[in-house]
Amino acid sequence: MTRILLASFALAAPALAQPYDLLLQGGHVIDPASNINAVRDVAVAGGRIARVAARIAPEQARKVINVAGRYVVPGLVDLHFHAFGYSGALLPDDTALPTGSTTVVDAGGAGYRTFETFKKTVIANSKTRVLVLLNIAGNGMTGAASEDNVEDMLPEKTAEVIRANRDLIVGIKVAHFGKPGWDALKRAVSAGRLAEVPVMVDDKIFTNTGRTSREKLLDVMRPGDMHTHMYNDRQVEIISRYNGKVQEYAIEARKRGVLFDLGHGAGSLLWPVAVSAAKQGFWPDTISTDLHASSILMQQSDMPNCMSKMMLLGMKLEDAVRKSTMVPAQVIRRYPEIGTLGEGRVADVAVLAETEGVFAFKDAWGKKMMGTRKLENVLTLRGGTLVWDSEGRGFPEWNTAGDYEVIP
């Protein structure tokens, strides 16, 4: 009996000695939620962060990836993405995961009438965590026929769909309303009150609408609501065109809890506005891409590029990480489920390389500003699984990895 017990223990010992599935070794961890900004090892087990420490013995992990010289941050949370409905919608797994975004929030592609189709066709088939800002327009972001149709903006129906899908729907989107008055925004806010969720506002200042930024920010939007495209003065005039100062109503709106989101996109980062605002300390609360077919290429609007542009304007790296992880997770009430590398949390991780050199950073209108630091995502974990590895750090050398498996 003694011999049998000893033999069983000997067989179990190797498994017990490797409690971790994966170890990210030697990277510089930036996790604002945990107040960590230092070189640390990160261990993953069962798809979750198991331990973050100055040193974790590599023998304890079944797989070790050396990420020395790289920044290890929580998976990026892109608060403004387009994955459905809109003609320029993108597949999240093809465009978000390679750039470090493990969570994207589709900003208004679906309305109450089209959400189930979105859920079945895109959300259910994505490795990326896809959350939703439900459009107040019933058919979603399908053009003026939908987005200007006030009769199809039904707060009660919208709230009903949100309440039935709280695991996926995190807020409401109102966008592109081209008619006079506040009907669309007020209906979105009404739905937000009914469902107890925030509203993201994408509202251009048209001369024929009679709407003003002051009224929108101070009288209609609520604390916790967010205005995207903040550095586009056609959307929200935060910088006075007369004296270049941040508008008092923008400062007051922020004090009362209205949030400002970058939403870079194809037309919503203008260097003159961004430079003036940054010099006066009026930064985005959240960094997001507004990534779609028209903004993914020439506008350089993925998350690492957006973070790099904010750093070019003077934002600290740690703040850029915080506004791309913890803060957006808080805004959509998913923190600390996401947005942190805290022990026990889901192992969504982005590994970023910072390169020094000479780089041209374009705004959304094709004007460039030169910079010397650029972030690039080189490795992504989604739920503890390696889904992107541009530097091949998680792969063995071909001539030392043993025989190739023959595929019939």
Q: What is the pLDDT of residue 208?
A: 63
CB atoms closer than 10 angstroms to residue 26? 18
Residue 282 lies in a domain: yes
Higher pLDDT, 24 or 86: 24
pLDDT band at 2 (very low <50, low <70, confident <90, very high): very low
Residue 22 confidence (pLDDT) above 60: yes
- Region 400-404: mean pLDDT is 80
The reported pLDDT for the residue numbered 172 is: 99
Assess whether the previous peptide bond of 336 is cis (omega < 30° from 0).
yes
State the pLDDT at residue 16: 54
Tracing tokens 């996109």 back to the chain, one arrives at: 265
Provide the CB-side half-sphere exposure for 360 (13 A, CA).
7
DSSP secondary structure letters along 148-182: T-GGG--HHHHHHHHHHTTTTEEEEEEE---SSSS
Average pLDDT, whole number, for the chain?
93
* pLDDT, position 10: 41
pLDDT at 406: 65
pLDDT value for 165? 99
> Residue 376 falls within a domain, yes or no?
no
Q: Is residue 3's pLDDT more than 50?
A: no
Mean pLDDT in residue range 261-285: 96
Q: For residues 247 and 254, is the Cβ–Cβ distance under 8 A?
A: no
The reply to whether 350 falls in a domain is: no
Radius of gyration from C-alpha coordinates of the chain: 23
Q: How much is the average pLDDT of 26-30? A: 99
pLDDT of residue 206: 55
What is the per-residue pLDDT for 33?
98
- pTM (2 d.p.): 0.94
CATH at 260: 3.20.20.140
pLDDT tens digit string along 298-328? 888 999 999 999 999 999 999 999 999 999 9
CB 379 within 8 A of CB 351: yes
pLDDT given at position 4: 41
Of the pLDDT bands very low, low, confident and very high (cuts 50, 70, 90), residue 404 is: confident
Q: Is residue 302 in some structural domain? A: yes
User: How confident is the model at residue 362, as a pLDDT?
Assistant: 96
Task: Give the pairing type, strands 226-227 and 199-202.
Answer: parallel
Per-residue pLDDT of 198-235, as tens digits, reads 999 998 765 567 788 899 999 999 999 999 999 997 77
- Contact between 74 and 325 under an 8 Å Cβ cutoff? The reply is yes
- Quickly state the pLDDT bin for 407 (edges 50, 70, 90): low
**In the beta sheet, which residues pair with residue 382?**
385
More confident residue, 169 or 3: 169
- 16: in domain: no
Return the pLDDT at 318.
Answer: 99
For residue 293, being part of any structural domain is answered with yes
- Number of independent structural domains in the chain: 1
Q: How confident is the model at residue 6 (pLDDT cuts 50, 70, 90)?
A: very low
Using an 8 Å Cβ cutoff, are 350 and 331 in contact? no
- Residue 282: which domain range? 74-339
Whole-number pLDDT of residue 23: 99
Across the range 129-143, mean pLDDT stands at: 96
Collapse the DSSP code of 319 into the 3-class scheme (helix H, G, I; strand E, B; otherwise coil) and give the result: helix
Question: b/e map of 385-404 (b: 16 or more CB within 10 Å)?
Answer: ebbbbeeebbeeeeeeeeee
pLDDT (tens digit per residue) in 326-369 = 999 999 999 999 999 999 999 999 999 999 999 999 998 899 99
The pLDDT score that the predictor gives to residue 205 is: 61
Give the whole-number percent of the chain exceeding pLDDT 90: 82
For 60-68, what is the mean pLDDT? 99
Residue 100 covered by a domain: yes
Instruction: Answer yes or no: is pLDDT of 297 > 60.
Output: yes
Q: Helices (DSSP H) in 280-325: which residue ranges?
A: 303-312, 317-322
> Does the residue 33 lie in any domain?
no
